[in-house]
Amino acid sequence: MTSNIQPIFSLLLVLFFSLSNIFPANAISIIEEKKVAKEFMKMVESSKSIIHDPIVTHMTRSVAERILEHLPDQPFEYHFYVIQDDTFNAFASPASNIFINTGLIASLETVDELAGVIAHEIAHAASRHVSQSIDRSKIVSAGTLAGVLAGILIGSKSDEDLGQSITIGSMALGQSAMLSFTRENETEADQKGLTLLQKSCFSPEGLLSGLIKIRAADWKGVEGIPDYFKTHPGTKSRIAHLVSLMENQSLPPHRCTEDFRYDMIRNRIIGIYANADKAQKTLTSNWRDDPDNPAINYGLALVLARKSRVDEAISHLKTALKSNPFDPLVLLEIGRLHLLEGNPSKALAMLRPIEFEPVVSTNAAFLIARAQLESGKIGPATKGFEKVIYQEPDAFPRAYYHLAESYSLQKEPGLSHYYLGMYYTRIHNRKNAVFHYKKAVKTLKDSAKADAAKEKIKQLEKEMFDEKRKSAS
């Protein structure tokens, strides 16, 4: 994601919540909210900011599921997404779609703090705060809202534009009524989130300590932006309220048993998704303070690998293995780096022992299939890529590319073009996708896939036509 997308995406959410806080009313209908959610999700997906990392998403979903167990039946199915954005934020959007920024996860030191953030957002969704806000803004239809957000996404070019947009927005929007109601929402979400944590196996103290960390970080480092321009206003008063609520709170009767290590995944997020230079500086400083810490060595290895410093990365991974010689996350990364160096046999030696480990199995399957393809084992590689696509269709776009390559080697041009079409669709290259789908239709033996390719051609050509017409108007 480009440097401009991160602040712009945050602004989109600020304006989304601001635009929907103008007139008091009740919650919109379930059907209406689904329409808004559909349009909103299109905008989010087009920004290419959602992380489809099975290791990271497994952690957030696992934590969320422990909390959702204690909710009554809900009108929407909950979905959780991690956004590549260095700012401190998490938010509930229409129809119980909940987003957490990588910058926030990187700043939270314990899984209890992450659980506190997630419980707070679940409470917002369960209380239908977002739908109530949308209903107060009858002037904003689902399509109009998406158009406004998309227009800002395309039109804003710099951080200076961000500040200017916020200033203009402050002149257009009501202030005191919106501010009061929003803070009431936050108080209610804190109270309900605390109750959910108390019923779960996470410590309620995580909500408080996480909020203190968020309070300590100035939003984008810009001074003077009023609370009501943040998606979660009134943090100072919220902290005081939480302290009073927790005076008589007891810890949960039992602690969660997880199949992941929060410190490892937190450092994975820093090492892979944060700004590379800043991540290297932070992780190097942490490593100097604690040179034997496996999670820090793991994160530092990941960012060094991004900078093509493979030998140093492997050295840090070997240090990380000293405390746990069978750590699947570390073995996965060593295998990936061996593959990067052009040594598929070494890669397979690292990856085979972890191919059935729940948290890393799909990542391992993708790398194993790549190693098999490079070793000339076309049949097993083909099955491996098909398995990856079936399990995680969004996480590994290159699986479609390599699957096309494997079918080309097997003299199956129809299937090769079909999966190249799918690959280019996944990376939002419509022109190349249509080209390969048309090639596939001419030679595919599978009638179902040929029909699917024809439908894709219609859909993509319509999208290109609509986009061209919009840009011309």
Q: What is the pTM of this model?
A: 0.84
Cα–Cα distance between 407 and 405 in angstroms, integer? 6
Cα–Cα distance between 220 and 158 in angstroms, integer? 13
Q: Are 89 and 10 in contact (CB under 8 A)?
A: yes
Tell me the per-residue pLDDT of 34-48, one tens digit each, with 9 for 90 and over. 887 888 788 778 777
Pick from 155-164, 231-240, 407-416, 449-458: least confident: 155-164
Q: Does the structure show a pLDDT above 60 at 431? A: yes
Tell me the per-residue pLDDT of 379-397, one tens digit each, with 9 for 90 and over. 999 999 999 999 999 999 9
Pick from 245-254, 310-319, 388-397: least confident: 245-254
DSSP helix/strand/coil, 99: strand
Cα–Cα distance between 391 and 387 in angstroms, integer? 6
Q: Does the structure show a pLDDT above 70 at 293? A: yes
Cα–Cα distance between 14 and 226 in angstroms, integer? 12
pLDDT of residue 120: 93
pLDDT of residue 22: 34
DSSP, residue by residue, 161-208:
HHHHHHHHHHHHS--HHHHHHHHHHHHHHHHHHHHHHHHSSS-THHHH
pLDDT of residue 162: 39
In which band, very low, low, confident or very high, does the pLDDT at 366 lie, cut at 50, 70 and 90?
very high
Q: Which amino acid is at 270?
A: I
Q: Which residues of 164-202 are buried (b: 16+ CB within 10 A; e: fewer)?
A: ebbeebeeeeeeeebbebbbebbbebbbbbbbbbbbbbb
Cα–Cα distance between 168 and 177 in angstroms, integer? 18
Q: Are 82 and 60 in contact (CB under 8 A)?
A: yes
Cα–Cα distance between 293 and 233 in angstroms, integer? 36
- Strand 97-101, strand 79-83: pairing: parallel
pLDDT of residue 113: 96
Instruction: Give the residue from 161, 163, 144 showing the smallest Cα distance to 153.
Output: 161
Q: Pick the more confident residue, 230 or 205.
A: 205
Q: What is the mean pLDDT of the chain?
A: 83
Q: Which residues of 295-305 are buried (b: 16+ CB within 10 A; e: fewer)?
A: bbbbbbbbbbb
Tell me the per-residue pLDDT of 234-247, one tens digit each, with 9 for 90 and over. 677 888 888 888 88
Pick from 217-221, 288-292, 433-437: least confident: 217-221
Q: Where are the domains of the chain?
A: 5-248
Q: Which amino acid is at 58?
A: H
Cα–Cα distance between 430 and 13 in angstroms, integer? 27
Tell me the per-residue pLDDT of 174-203, one tens digit each, with 9 for 90 and over. 333 332 336 788 888 889 999 999 899 899
pLDDT of residue 100: 93
Query: Which of 122-136, 139-153, 283-297, 457-471 reaches the highest mean pLDDT?
Result: 283-297
Tell me the per-residue pLDDT of 104-136, one tens digit each, with 9 for 90 and over. 999 999 999 999 999 999 999 998 887 777 665
pLDDT of residue 173: 35
